[in-house]
Structure 1
Amino acid sequence: MPRMETELRVVTANGTRQAVRVGGPPDGTPVLLVHGNCSSSLFWEPLIRRLPPTLRVVAPDLRGFGDSETAGVDATRGLRDFADDVAALLDDPTLFPKAADASSVDAAAEVRPVVVGHSLGGGVAMRLLVDHPHRVGALLLAAPVSPYGFGGTRDLAGTPATPDFAGTGAARVNEDFVTRLAAGDRSVDTPTSPRAVLRATYVADPAALGEDEDLLLDSMLSTATGDDNYPGTAVESEYWPGAAPGKRGVLNALAPTWFRLADDLVAVAEKPPITWVRGDADVIVSDTSLLDLAYLGSLGLVPGWPGADVRPPQPMVGQTRAVLERYAAAGGAYREVVLPGCGHSPHLERPGEFVAELLALTDAWAG
């Protein structure tokens, strides 16, 4: 099979300068790839190489990542800053040539890609569906953030553990990791170096990174750091562990304070098919997440944990399943695909199976 080639373009959409990787023929089945946190569109390159050149692939760098503009993130909008940026790309005829007809009163003339979202990108994809349901042909969620946000909730219904969701958003960040990320650290001499984090948390087996490790590290190191980007701001809290999400920055946009779209997802009028792909060895999005302070507290790694009755770990996987079951009961359809021994990046670790799931959605879209 011929290898798909991509080119990097720069466009202005939603008032933001966005770098976008584009591949495949203009009239190919449209696929929109939305990367996760502390990464960029480069994180999709190993997958794109495996895709048939008949697809029209568009993979943007989200604001503050890769080569896109370092525009600030208003956390109080949840992930809408990102979703609005991505939605604006769908009307750019240089990316999706069919978008030249987007002004038509016939909604069928509008581009409706298969949207693939990884981790944070899964949350952006869900937000895109909620806010622009007529622009999504299908969703492929790869290790997505819970529809109730990241951390700070206690049960499958997303009940808050504390009124201010203490210990989530920028309040949970490892400051040494942020310092090393900002400095462009490429070492592996400490667990908080970006390369060590890539090996330990993004995949279950570091060997899965292969010859692409430096490419993927470049992607991580492209993250813009600061109060308006990664990680964002934190405020004092009377609840353990003493800090809560602020109103600016990426991690706060993921916090359940601002990102809670479970009910909206279930209620969306147009319900495209959803495929949810996850690894059973994921340590980031998990019911026992190593980035959830409540779970770390239960292990004795964060002092002062008030106990499971007060602050249980977030059941992230269970929450996503419960919401997607409601989505199906309300007229939608979803599949959960669990990959044994796979971590947080199914498209990197199990590319054959991941491509098969993507092609099943694009074939259904094209049919």
Structure 2
Amino acid sequence: MSKIPTLPGITSTMVATSRLQMHVLSSGPADGEAVLFIHGNASSATFWEETMLALPAQFRAIAPDLRGYGETEDLLIDATRGCGDWVDDLIALIDTLGIDRCHAVGHSLGGVVLFNLIAAVPQRIITATLVAPGSPYGFGGCKGLNGELCWPDGAGSGGGTVNQAFVERMAAGDTTEEAGNAAPRVVMNTFYWKPPFRPAREEALLASMLSEKVGPQRYPGDFKPSPHWPGVAPGVWGPINAISPLYVGDAVERFVAAEPKPPILWVRGADDQIVSDMSLFDVGTLGQLGILPDWPGADAHPPQPMIGQTRAVLERYAAAGGRFRELVFAECGHTPYIEHPDQFNAAFHDHLRNR
């Protein structure tokens, strides 16, 4: 049973794969058409429960806790493989469950994982739904629509860019608002959705957020000093290093060249402060706004154009024979499926049925 209370209709199990023990939430008929849900950073499968239960009757929902999160076995993430550990874990999971092909949905960091999953096994993905995904080039430390590194060592991305006060509050399991902008509850209610929205299951979602494994080799990951602004470069462990552009390798090219090409639905909120072309979690933005000192300027380290990069890559995917649809929800932050469930489910279910 999950340590976080689940909604009626959700089953919590541990699945032993060839790689690790994964905690998995599921719903729907065992013989239904599988839909794989991939959660984002500082969350877990818990975030998907309402969306899982809203699926049409013929679908089976599978939502694992990724390595490094929730109740899945606590094994380290080798960031030098980019999203490789997560991708291999997910492939091992669907192999263990006997799923040949599935629909796949990825939110935020999970969207970056989904780009990489399509690049690895496109023949196993029926449709893909990207919900406020991170850029396919990763998070932070890159510029331009082609994801060029700002600095050769990836400075400005990775574990050293995360607010250490927030990390300390995460490690302490702080459920209060006493630490202000460093408090996980405050961060969640300020940035995960557009204020003043508050989800009905706020306590369960906060518990999900706090279930991430924290430590020097875990969240957010290690880091190295850099001669380049802002003075820190990615280390080699943990989730935030794993989504550094330093380690993206040829994943974008493999995604664009994938065959077959599953149709893609891209849903995002117009008021997203986490993934945007002026993300408040990107040091380039913070430098330009004067929040981080000694910013070297827009030529050297501009705000990462996350939306522009995603659109440019998806347009290349379409030009190579794929197709995608972009939906932007008004009055919506980083979590469209929680903030506007009816609007999201209508588009999502249509995408699943009309592939």
Q: Which residue does the alignment assign to 1:67? A: 71
Q: Which residue does the alignment assign to 1:82? A: 86
Q: What does 1:153-172 correspond to in 2, within 5 Å?
A: 153-172=142-161
Seq. identity, %: 47
Amino acid at match of 1:320: T
1:291 paired residue among 281, 290, 305: 281
The answer to whether the Cα contact below 8 Å between 1:158 and 1:319 also exists between their aligned partners in 2 is yes
Q: Distance in 2 between matches of 1:201 and 1:237?
A: 29
Aligned to 2:190, what secondary structure does the other structure show? helix
Q: Which residue does the alignment assign to 2:300? A: 310
Amino acid at match of 1:18: M
Q: What does 1:12-91 correspond to in 2, within 5 Å?
A: 12-91=16-95
Question: Does residue 170 of structure 2 align to residue 181 of structure 1?
Answer: yes
The answer to whether the Cα contact below 8 Å between 1:149 and 1:259 also exists between their aligned partners in 2 is yes
Question: Does residue 321 of structure 2 align to residue 331 of structure 1?
Answer: yes
Question: Does residue 212 of structure 2 align to residue 223 of structure 1?
Answer: yes
Q: Distance in 1 between matches of 2:148 and 2:345?
A: 35
Amino acid at match of 2:109: L
Q: Distance in 1 between matches of 2:18 and 2:263?
A: 27
The answer to whether the Cα contact below 8 Å between 1:114 and 1:361 also exists between their aligned partners in 2 is no
Aligned to 2:137, what secondary structure does the other structure show? coil
Q: Distance in 1 between matches of 2:307 and 2:30?
A: 37
Taking structure 2 as the reference length, the TM-score comes to 0.95
Aligned to 1:235, what secondary structure does the other structure show? strand
Q: Distance in 1 between matches of 2:27 and 2:42?
A: 23
Q: What does 1:91-110 correspond to in 2, within 5 Å?
A: 91-93=95-97, 99=98
The total of aligned residue pairs comes to 347
Shift of the alpha carbon at 1:205? Answer: 2.4
The answer to whether the Cα contact below 8 Å between 1:228 and 1:250 also exists between their aligned partners in 2 is no
Question: Does residue 347 of structure 2 align to residue 343 of structure 1?
Answer: no
CA change 1:54–1:266 in 2 (3 A) is: same
Shift of the alpha carbon at 1:4? Answer: 7.2
Q: Which residue does the alignment assign to 2:15? A: 11
Q: Which residue does the alignment assign to 1:103? A: none
Aligned to 2:333, what secondary structure does the other structure show? coil
Q: Distance in 1 between matches of 2:216 and 2:116?
A: 23
Shift of the alpha carbon at 1:256? Answer: 0.2
Shift of the alpha carbon at 1:206? Answer: 4.0
What per-residue deviation string (whole Å, max 9, x for no partner) do you get for residues 308-365 of structure 1?
1221111000000000000000000000111112111111111112111221122135
The answer to whether the Cα contact below 8 Å between 2:56 and 2:349 also exists between their aligned partners in 1 is no
Shift of the alpha carbon at 1:291? Answer: 0.4
1:355 paired residue among 328, 345, 348: 345
Q: Distance in 2 between matches of 1:56 and 1:24?
A: 5
Q: Distance in 2 between matches of 1:159 and 1:259?
A: 11
Shift of the alpha carbon at 1:269? Answer: 1.9
Q: What does 1:247-258 correspond to in 2, within 5 Å?
A: 247-258=236-247
The answer to whether the Cα contact below 8 Å between 1:297 and 1:305 also exists between their aligned partners in 2 is yes
Taking structure 1 as the reference length, the TM-score comes to 0.92
The answer to whether the Cα contact below 8 Å between 1:295 and 1:312 also exists between their aligned partners in 2 is yes
Aligned to 1:195, what secondary structure does the other structure show? helix
Give unmatched runs, 5+ long, in structure 1. Answer: 94-98, 100-109
Q: CA RMSD in A?
A: 1.4
Aligned to 1:91, what secondary structure does the other structure show? helix
